[in-house]
Structure 1
Amino acid sequence: MIGTLNALVDLVERNLSESIDVAAFARKHGTTEYHLRRMFSALARMPLSEYARRRRMTLAGADLAAGDPNLLDVAVRYGYGSVEAFGRAFRSVHGTGPAEVRRHGGPLSTQPMLRFRLSVEGSTPMDVTITHKPEFVLAGHAAQVPLIHEGVNPHIQRHIAGIAPGEHARLKALGDTDPAGILAVTAEVEPDAPEGSMLTYLHGVAVNAATALPDDLDTIRLEAGAWAVFSSRGPFPEALQQLWAATATEWFPSNPWRLRPGPSMLRYLELTDTYASCELWLPVEKS
């Protein structure tokens, strides 16, 4: 996977003026576009599309600072059909317009070319179980919330606080399959979604596909498949977020599994304001 990601970076570099066919690239390298984008985003801390845009604007900024006289030529060179569209993209990266950079040489925000390396220093111990489940349903109370990579998500906190205390007992009584107990479910996340993108958060339980459910609950039906179950213990929420990153840096590159589309499920075994023991369930398939 590390070699594949570096080949993807090279492909981006050779095609900065046009979009690339990530799906075809993934097939050629024996993986899927979904898994590739998720791994890139987790390791680079930015979506592939954002990285490509920043590289384009880095080189465009260098051209303008060097005195390239024609804004339209520079815009077309990096895949933009108009000076206006190029200017918006340029300003979003550099915080200043292309004309100002051409006159004054900066300031410029540079995105270096990425190079991925596999390192075992400071590795995170992981207990992992692969489990195969038949079709099942997640049922509970869902909300649209923005994606936040680090720290506690206050939008999720407010959603949970708005659920009546007695509702938790009702949900627990409905749950009749693994993972047991109340679950924190993150769904409908694009594989390379940037921070701030909207996702579906569901506070609920897992039930068998044939179980009758009340009409007032939101549901997510999941097809049969394999799940990788990672155990985590430590400071909350840092240990969990470090575990998610470690799956990308350490577990997936060295195991014959890849992510498949589907939600991630978090089952808390113990939770305080500062400590959590939990299971992270990720949908996977054989590479």
Structure 2
Amino acid sequence: MDMLKGINDALNYIEENLSNHIDLKVVAKIGLCSEYHFKRLFSLLSGITISEYIRRRRLTLAALELKDPDVKVIDVAIKYGYQSPDAFSRVFQNYHGVTPSIARNTEQNLKAYPRMTFQLKIKGGTEMNYRIVEKEAFKVVGVKYKVEMVNEILTPTYESMISTISDSKMKELESISNKEPNGVIHVSANYSENAEGKAIFDQYIGAATTQELLGNYSILEVPSFLWAVFEIDGNWEKVEEHWQRIYSEWLPSSSYELAEGPEILASKDEKSEIWISIKEK
């Protein structure tokens, strides 16, 4: 599993350079994949962004170093990339719940975020039905939301997004679907990570179509991509389980990596398809 070895080598590099500037392009190269693929895969497997992981590891080590009475707060702040004691103190308190000065108390409880390693675990040998599809460019027409994800918590949640779309609008979107993936689809696009380590992406609830719709709808132009399409029978719990297996089992053992494209869920009557944009390694 060259990909898993690459990711763990990248995590070793991060660990060895927590007191230095870490270029995520270099990290991804060590991980044997593109920067986008590394960021997205890490986020999906760990539940936090790679930037947030680095921040937590630095704050964990900083807390340990502050237990030494001979170490100055300013020196620890600069060592871990903060330009002033005030900036360091704010971030430190947000994470540990106390200021760096209070953290010096040997009896003070602090948080510790352990370093990660990744392993491939295939549970039960359950089959995954999929096909590889080369698809021309198409468009998605629907309702768009800007979503922020922190520790796997979405703002807004899927439930609140769906609740704002009326039944008549849902039926209208379903009626214009004339391209695969069929029916009302959920499309996650334009994934990125901001300076605070939060994941941000656009979420569309709409339809793949050649038709135009009057009204307040957004359009996502999807370029030509290679897609891995996974078929799932069952409820939402089965879909979530399958989605996790795609990233933790199928991708690391395949000859593909994530492309910088959308991820799509098409689901109706407990029959679902997950579309993942991919490219050959």
Percent identity over the alignment is 30
Match of 2:275 among 278, 281, 285: 281
Match of 2:128 in 1: 126
C-alpha separation in 2, matches of 1:221 and 1:67: 58
Which structure 2 residues correspond to residues 65-214 of structure 1 after superposition, within 5 A? Answer: 65-122=67-124, 125-147=127-149, 155-190=157-192, 197-208=199-210, 211-214=211-214
C-alpha separation in 1, matches of 2:272 and 2:196: 25
Q: Secondary structure at the match of 1:103?
A: coil
Match of 1:233 in 2: 233
Are 1:56 and 2:63 matched, yes or no?
A: no
Give 5+ residue unaligned stretches, structure 2: none
Match of 2:219 in 1: 219
CA contact (8 A) 2:148 2:154 kept: no
C-alpha separation in 2, matches of 1:27 and 1:71: 34
Mark the CA change 1:95 to 1:26 in structure 2 (over 3 Å): closer, same or farther.
same
Give 5+ residue unaligned stretches, structure 1: 271-275
Mark the CA change 1:263 to 1:161 in structure 2 (over 3 Å): closer, same or farther.
same
Deviation at 1:195, TM superposition (A): 9.5
Aligned Cα root-mean-square deviation (Å): 2.6
C-alpha separation in 1, matches of 2:243 and 2:196: 16
Q: Secondary structure at the match of 1:65?
A: coil
Q: Which amino acid aligns with 2:252?
A: P
C-alpha separation in 2, matches of 1:90 and 1:152: 24
Mark the CA change 1:50 to 1:155 in structure 2 (over 3 Å): closer, same or farther.
closer
Are 1:249 and 2:248 matched, yes or no?
A: yes
Aligned residue pairs: how many?
A: 279
Deviation at 1:253, TM superposition (A): 0.6
C-alpha separation in 1, matches of 2:186 and 2:216: 18
CA contact (8 A) 1:72 1:82 kept: yes
Q: TM-score with structure 2 length normalisation?
A: 0.88
Q: TM-score with structure 1 length normalisation?
A: 0.87
Query: Is 114-123 or 80-89 further displaced after alignment?
Result: 114-123
Mark the CA change 1:89 to 1:148 in structure 2 (over 3 Å): closer, same or farther.
closer
Are 1:24 and 2:29 matched, yes or no?
A: no
Deviation at 1:86, TM superposition (A): 1.2
C-alpha separation in 2, matches of 1:127 and 1:193: 38
Match of 1:263 in 2: 262
C-alpha deviations, 1:102-158, integer Å up to 9, x for none?
134421111112121222234554211111110100001222344377699874323
Q: Which contiguous aligned blocks of 4+ residues in structure 1 show a shift greater than 4 angstroms?
A: 148-154, 191-198
